[in-house]
Amino acid sequence: MCSHKRCRVEEQHQDQGTATRPEEDAIGSVKDAQIKTCPPHTGFIGGLCFTCGKNQDEEDFTGVPFGYISEGLRLSTLEMDRLSGSEVKNLLRERKLVLILDLDHTLINSTSLHDISAAEMDLGIQYAASKNDPNISLFTLQGMHMLTKLRPFVRKFLEEASNMFRMYIYTMGDKAYAIEIAKLLDPGNVYFDSKVISNSDCTQQHQKGLDVVLGADSLAVILDDTKKSGRSIKKT
């Protein structure tokens, strides 16, 4: 089952092709309407252009990766502008803004299990984090050897913010870590869906950029724990 944003991207291209198809004119007669052909390519997914089907390896195309929406998805600048315009219209119609949320020291705090002191172990912190209780805010990420604590009232914050914003997670952490934390914050997958952006999605190394957030150019609110991150998040 595809994500909401991925479905929107794919649905807008499923009727495109390189052949001709009949189309009725104003008086009901049928004529051949030429469908847009490549180049320029609008984008590639799985190595194939989703308009003409050509292999990306055979074409002079770089594009911007949107792997967090769908693995292997790359969009041209023109297609990004078109989709961003559509996204802005949707946001304005819903009377919402885009909220870009950092993770560490913003929504959660994490530490390595190896950094837990003997005194903390005696207090049963690791045991408490491993209990299967939906109301707890302390979790053990065993596969990553991490201990994570949700900030107070963070789920209530997300619930209320969802009425005013379309929310993204944007972290410089790894993809696997970001997805695991998203599951803790949003166990019902109500708020974020596929909108989890990590360091592997950035177009510039060690720098967040709004170019991978469709429609965020003028409608974004950024919640981050450092001013440096706020300065680095920019349209490229």
**163, two tokens:** 């009425």
Lowest mean pLDDT among 22-26, 131-135, 186-190: 22-26
Residue 213: pLDDT over 90: yes
Architecture of domain 79-105+152-232: 3-Layer(aba) Sandwich (3.40)
User: Cα 41 to chain center, whole Å?
Assistant: 23
**pLDDT score of 203:** 87
How far apart CA 148 and CA 104 sit, in angstroms, is: 9
Among 50, 56, 54, CA closest to 69:
50
Is-cis flag, bond preceding 39, omega within 30?
Answer: yes
Domain boundaries, the chain: 4-75, 79-105+152-232, 108-150
Task: Over range 133-147, report the average pLDDT.
Answer: 82
If DSSP codes are grouped into helix, strand and coil, which group holds residue 156?
helix
Q: Which pLDDT tens digit goes with each residue over 94-111?
A: 999 999 999 999 999 999
pTM confidence score:
0.77
153 dihedral zone (left: phi>0; alpha: psi -120 to 50; beta): left
Among 1, 5, 79, 66, CA closest to 40:
79
Please spell the DSSP secondary structure of 212-235, one letter per residue. Answer: GSTT-TTTEEEE-S-HHHHHH-B-
Q: Which pLDDT tens digit goes with each residue over 50-106?
A: 888 888 887 778 789 999 999 989 999 899 999 999 999 999 999 999 999 999 999
Angle (nearest 5°) at CA 200 between 196 and 92: 40
Cβ(100)–Cβ(223) under 8 Å? yes
* Average predicted confidence (pLDDT) for the chain: 81
